[in-house]
Structure 1
Amino acid sequence: MDSKLEQFTLKYQQGQALLDKGQYRSSVKILEEAKSLISLSSRLGGDVQLSLVTAYQGINKLDDAIAICEELTRHPNLEIRQQSQRILYILKAPQLKRPEEWMTKIPTTNTDDNSTPRYIQAKPVTKSFQKPSLNLEDVSKIDTKDNGFIGLALVLFIFIIGGLIWLGKG
């Protein structure tokens, strides 16, 4: 295998791994190095440029991503041309305005002037959990007086069963 191709493969895989992790700036740097090691008119040259398009989108350099896509629409490989045309269509689509209430504001944490602490210390638990104990005095307070419901239910049950038996004989 050619030394230049080995270097390209290593750089391309590193750039892809960084891209997959969302490390777009590092990915751009490595993919640009890989791009310089391969013929841009080859399939691999097209693949590395498509990856660069995604990385440029990630760092909000849409003009660079569009420029690469426009070049790729004239690539010798049909699949690269078709894929770049689809991506270019998306990149050039008008951006929709989202209502402010749809957005979640996330405070920046990269400045030292943020006086709000990022973490709030939890308050210590003051009450300890105690298992309730069974008190015999509480048991004696339970109302055990029969309200007559069980007797009524038993009488109705007997009449229903008796009626069904009588109907079965007749």
Structure 2
Amino acid sequence: MDAKLEQFYIKYQAGQDLLQRGQYRLSVQTLEEAKALINPSSSLGGDVQMCLVTAYQGVGRLEDAIAVCEELTRHPNLEVRQQSKRVLYILKAPKLKRPDAWMTKIPSTNPEETDNPRYLQAKPISKPQEKPTLEVEDLSQINTKDNAFVWVALALLLIILGCLAWL
């Protein structure tokens, strides 16, 4: 294996690992180094650039992420082109305003990321629902005079069932 290609794989894997651990600044640096070691028009060049798009998003460099995605929409590899178009659509989508009550700020312990706070999605606080209570009816208050319909319906049902039994 070529030494340059071996160096690429080392940088590429390190950049992906840093990206997965949320160390976006280091990931950007490592992935940019990996990009310099490979032909950007190759399949691996497209893959490293797609990872770079995610890392750019992580550090808040949205314009750079969009620029790389727009470049990749003309990549020779069909899969890279399709993936970049999907990601570009998401990157250019209008941002929705979330209420501050939905967000929880978590301070970063990494001194390199102090200017980019991370957020966790918080569930909205809802009031506990009251349990339904059963109301006891006073049976002496029920109007039984209008129950003639029930007896007529029951009699008709028995007649119909009797006729069906004879068939």
Does TM, normalized by the shorter one, top 0.5?
yes
Deviations 1:85-113 (A, max 9, x none): 000000000000112322334568899xx
Question: How many residues get paired?
Answer: 111
Cα distance change, pair 31–105 in 1 and its aligned pair in 2 (3 A): closer
Where does residue 75 of structure 2 map in the other structure? 75
SS at match of 2:12: helix
Where does residue 47 of structure 2 map in the other structure? 47
Q: 1:27, 1:108 → 2: CA distance?
A: 16
Cα distance change, pair 8–101 in 1 and its aligned pair in 2 (3 A): same
Q: 1:107, 1:43 → 2: CA distance?
A: 38
Deviations 1:10-42 (A, max 9, x none): 110111111111100000001000000000000
Q: 2:88, 2:101 → 1: CA distance?
A: 30
Q: 2:109, 2:34 → 1: CA distance?
A: 33
Does the alignment pair 1:20 with 2:20? yes
Q: 2:21, 2:65 → 1: CA distance?
A: 19
TM-score by length of 1: 0.61
Cα distance change, pair 76–22 in 1 and its aligned pair in 2 (3 A): same
SS at match of 2:95: coil
Where does residue 99 of structure 2 map in the other structure? 99
Does the alignment pair 1:31 with 2:25? no
1:18-167 to structure 2, matched below 5 A, reads: 18-106=18-106
SS at match of 1:104: strand
**Tell me, which stretches of 5 or more residues in structure 1 are unaligned?**
112-170
Q: Which amino acid aligns with 1:24?
A: Y
Deviations 1:137-159 (A, max 9, x none): xxxxxxxxxxxxxxxxxxxxxxx
Where does residue 140 of structure 1 map in the other structure? none
Q: 1:110, 1:36 → 2: CA distance?
A: 27
Percent of paired sites with the same residue: 74
Q: 1:107, 1:50 → 2: CA distance?
A: 28
SS at match of 2:76: coil
Q: Which amino acid aligns with 2:41?
A: S
Deviations 1:30-56 (A, max 9, x none): 100000000000000000000000000
TM-score by length of 2: 0.63
Q: 1:109, 1:49 → 2: CA distance?
A: 28
Q: Which has the higher strand share?
A: 2
SS at match of 1:79: helix
Where does residue 11 of structure 1 map in the other structure? 11
Q: 2:108, 2:7 → 1: CA distance?
A: 38
